[in-house]
Structure 1
Amino acid sequence: MKSEILRQIGTISRSLDSISNVEFARFELAKGQYLYLSRIKENPGIIQHRLSELLCVDKSTANRAINKLEQKGLIVKKDDLKNKKEKRLYLTEEGEKVYPLIIRENEYSTKIALKDISTQNQEIFLEVLNTMSDNISHDWLEVKKGHIRKY
């Protein structure tokens, strides 16, 4: 039963990602770029390093996605006032127009996913998911640093 939990979470994640990639293709957003757009909107001025950690992706993956979003005119990079090596990320006016559609899709998907699940069970599930996310994020950071997990 335990191994089934992550399999089901993976199935849900891949399904929703596939749906989003199809639905956001009209904005030329591909392969999870909508996630970057959302996190930048929710964290205006976020630096690339922090964004990659937030999304649990390596720096080169984040860099490619960020550059594509910048080329499409959806985000802009601005110099950090204290650290010239860092760039702060913000949505452009065009990015601001796309964001509400991403949120509507997210709200709809959430409504479908949680259909027939009581509010109490949703709260418990969220608590469990947050704990799982914290556990996995810690491992991800360790592996990213080059550590090998002991199975």
Structure 2
Amino acid sequence: MKQLDSKILREIGTLSRSIHSICDIKFKELKLQKGQFIYLTRICENPGINFIDLTILLKIDKTSTTKAIQKLETQGYIERKKDLNDKRVIRLYPTEKGLESYDDIINEENKNIAICYKDFSEDEKNIVTELIMKMSNNIESEWKSSKLILGGNEDD
């Protein structure tokens, strides 16, 4: 039977699912549904981001992005505005409610980061961050080409 060359992706997946599960429970009090905090944080950090760029930034399919954006807008966390130069482009902005919630989300994310980095030296924290970012950059072109194969376009 074939064996995995490394368990790194399984460990990263477990880490990600654990953190998302914790956050989903914590953010229910903000009336955020599963995974919506990811979209809200990126919109707060990139006010005026368009739908396509948000989808690419998060590496999530268009359908999921559309559903999340609609719910966040309905709940009053974000608003859509037409681009002043190109009326076909919709820009996404956090509302006051979104910005207030962002602070709570970042506090929770920082708490989770501190837990993950427990007993790490500063050098270890820097090395882990650098290596994970390198892995992410390495897989980016594969993600883009898989989107093309599945019928997306380069803007996906």
What TM-score does the superposition give when structure 2 sets the normalisation length? 0.91
Which of 130-139 and 101-110 deviates more? Answer: 130-139
Aligned residue pairs total 147
Q: 2:91 aligns with which of 88, 93, 96?
A: 88
Structure 1 position 2, deviation (Å):
4.2
The runs of at least 4 aligned residues of structure 1 exceeding 4 Å deviation read none
Match of 1:22 in 2: 25
1:72 is the counterpart of 2:75: yes
Unpaired runs of 5+ residues, structure 1, are: none
1:24-39 mapped onto 2 (5 Å cutoff): 24-39=27-42
Match of 1:129 in 2: 132
Match of 2:110 in 1: 107
Structure 1 position 3, deviation (Å):
2.5
Structure 1 position 86, deviation (Å):
1.0
Amino acid at match of 1:60: T
Structure 1 position 137, deviation (Å):
2.0
**Greater relative contact order, per chain length (Cα 8 Å cut-off, separation 6+):** 2
Match of 2:154 in 1: none
SS in 2 for 1:145: helix
Which of 45-54 and 129-138 deviates more? Answer: 129-138
Match of 2:153 in 1: none
1:40 is the counterpart of 2:46: no
SS in 2 for 1:83: coil
Match of 1:97 in 2: 100
1:46/1:7 CA distance change after superposition, 3 Å? same
Unpaired runs of 5+ residues, structure 2, are: 151-156
Amino acid at match of 1:137: E
What TM-score does the superposition give when structure 1 sets the normalisation length? 0.93
Distance in 2 between residues matched to 1:2 and 1:117, nearest whole Å: 26
CA RMSD of aligned residues (A): 1.2
Cα deviation code 1:50-76 (max 9, x no counterpart): 000000001111011001000001000
SS in 2 for 1:30: coil
